[in-house]
Chain A
Amino acid sequence: MTVAPECAKVGVMSGPTGPTASLERDAARKQLVAALARVAGGDRGALQLLYRDTSAKLFAVCVRILRDEGEAEDVLQDVYTTVWQRAGTFDPARASPITWLVAIARNRSIDRLRSGAMAARTRTMEEADDVNDNAPNALAQIESLQEERRLTDCLGELEPRHAVAIRFAFIDGMTYDELARRMNVPLGTMKSWIRRSLLRLRECLER
């Protein structure tokens, strides 16, 4: 497949903001919803469009969790064949297309990671330079600005170390054990950090 360089990719970080960006994001989202509808109808061309517009984002998600490009390629292939089969279950009233796709990519990556096939692999936890833990403003593009701001604000209300743990968990797909070692706290402490943070986040997001 030729990937047109000028095509608008979703989820580019640090994109422009303002009304125009918001309109563009809306249009991108509608385009993805339409593509998913056509994929549900068995349209391979639509799957190719979807792949063109979302694969770089999903690949980044897989690579980040799996820390192995070969594994990530396998999982990415699995993600899009899953999308091909399950596009009909996507419900635009319940999720944005990119949220749905990211969830599939993360679940597949995490399952691969936990499957034991990769158990011998030692993950280098220090390779965290491709995510900026102190730059909540880089949250961009995949959801409405309102949702981004709310999550950013609510993460900001957590104790900084707790917010960092939430980010490591989500972005890196770390288990409680790995998080505890990474942040050098007892396992029980990490569990209570995460659980309390989730409850606080929800409380804040519902405010």
Chain B
Amino acid sequence: MSDEHATGSADGPPVAGEYVLGVLNAAERRAFEARMAQDPALRSEVEYWERRLGVLASELKPIDPPPRVWANIESALAARPAQSGFWHHLPFWRWAAIGSAAVAAASFVALAYIARVSTANEPLVATLQASGGQSRFVAAIDSGGRGLTIVPASLPDFGQRALELWLIAPGDHPRSLGLIELSRPVHIDLPNDLMPRVRPEATLAVSSEPPGGSPTGLPTGPVIASGKLTNL
């Protein structure tokens, strides 16, 4: 694992470190978390300090919790609906899309998926990554280029914000492909006028937008993940 995002210039207080240490008060913690939700570099820095300082926790002697804690957890889980349907397979997607061989693994899984939904010889796929390098989505173009399936890989919480998918062909401005979801794969029919733009080197990007999507027709919120289409 790389520490490259944690070594950047450190002007001002090292607030990610202060956050992880736990010295901030409640208001400062919420304010920092709001910033972190918009800034993958801050998140990386928090992960850096969690990893580095985390070893201090081993100074504590383990204490067995009373059995009622597990009993309470079990009852809490029982109240949740069971997972079913395609969602059931999602963790496999997610787990395939993360890790050191993220792109290769994600592409491999995309291939396996496409094998079921298409007969294309050279399917187009993209792994959409956060700026910190974390794989967030895997997208695959249907055979014939008429549709696209996008699958969430890792799922940070974006609250009430909508997620909008954009196609950016080289030299072109972003074209909306519609809203997507964090909780399940979404299939999108590509509009006829956009099909020619769906080719290798075009970029897919996901931005965080107000509920209902961008009011302007162009991305208004931060881009949370992007990646180029490539032939598998």
Which A residues lie at the B interface, using CB under 8 A? 1, 3, 9, 11-13, 37, 40-42, 44, 47-48, 51, 55-57, 59-61, 63-65, 72-73, 76-77, 80-81, 84, 88-89, 91-96, 98-100, 102-103, 106, 110-111, 114-116, 130-132, 135, 138-143, 147-148, 151, 166-167, 169-171, 173-176, 179, 191, 194-195, 198-199, 201-202, 205-206
Chain B, 50-77, contact with A by CB distance < 8 Å: what is the 0/1 string?
A: 1111111111111111111111111011
Number of interface residues of B (CB under 8 A): 63
- Cα A121 to Cα B24 with chains together (Å): 18
Residue of B13, B25, B29, B56 with most chain A CB atoms under a 10 A cut-off: B56
> Within the complex, which residue of B54, B65, B82, B83 is in contact with A99, where a contact is CB–CB below 8 Å?
B54
The chain A residue sitting closest to B95, CB to CB, is A37
B159 at the interface (CB under 8 A from A): no
> Within the complex, which residue of A11, A73, A103 is in contact with B50, where a contact is CB–CB below 8 Å?
A103
> Within the complex, which residue of A11, A81, A92 is in contact with B58, where a contact is CB–CB below 8 Å?
A11
- Given the known A-B contacts A13-B59, A93-B99, A147-B51, are A77 and B22 also in contact in the complex, defined by CB atoms under 8 Å? no
Q: Which residues of B have CB within 8 Å of A170?
A: 20-22, 53, 56-57
- Given the known A-B contacts A80-B73, A84-B77, A91-B134, are A98 and B60 also in contact in the complex, defined by CB atoms under 8 Å? no
Q: How far is the CB of A93 from chain B (nearest CB, A)?
A: 5
B98 touches A141 (CB 8 A): no
The chain B residue sitting closest to A54, CB to CB, is B62
Which B residues lie at the A interface, using CB under 8 A? 1, 3, 6-7, 10, 13-14, 17-18, 20-26, 29, 47, 49-74, 76-77, 80, 82-83, 88, 90-92, 94-95, 98-100, 102, 134, 154-156
Residue of B29, B49, B63 with most chain A CB atoms under a 10 A cut-off: B63
> Within the complex, which residue of A114, A116, A194, A206 is in contact with B29, where a contact is CB–CB below 8 Å?
A114
B60 touches A131 (CB 8 A): yes
> Within the complex, which residue of A40, A114, A151 is in contact with B53, where a contact is CB–CB below 8 Å?
A151
Q: Which residues of B have CB within 8 Å of A60?
A: 60-63
11 additional A-B residue pairs with CB within 8 Å, beyond A92-B98, A139-B55, A167-B56: A55-B70, A60-B61, A91-B98, A111-B26, A116-B26, A138-B58, A139-B58, A171-B60, A175-B23, A194-B23, A198-B49
> Within the complex, which residue of B68, B83, B102 is in contact with A93, where a contact is CB–CB below 8 Å?
B102
Q: Which residues of A have CB within 8 Å of B154?
A: 88-89, 91
> Within the complex, which residue of A57, A72, A77, A198 is in contact with B14, where a contact is CB–CB below 8 Å?
A198
A140 touches B58 (CB 8 A): yes
A139 touches B56 (CB 8 A): yes
Q: Which residues of B have CB within 8 Å of A48?
A: 70
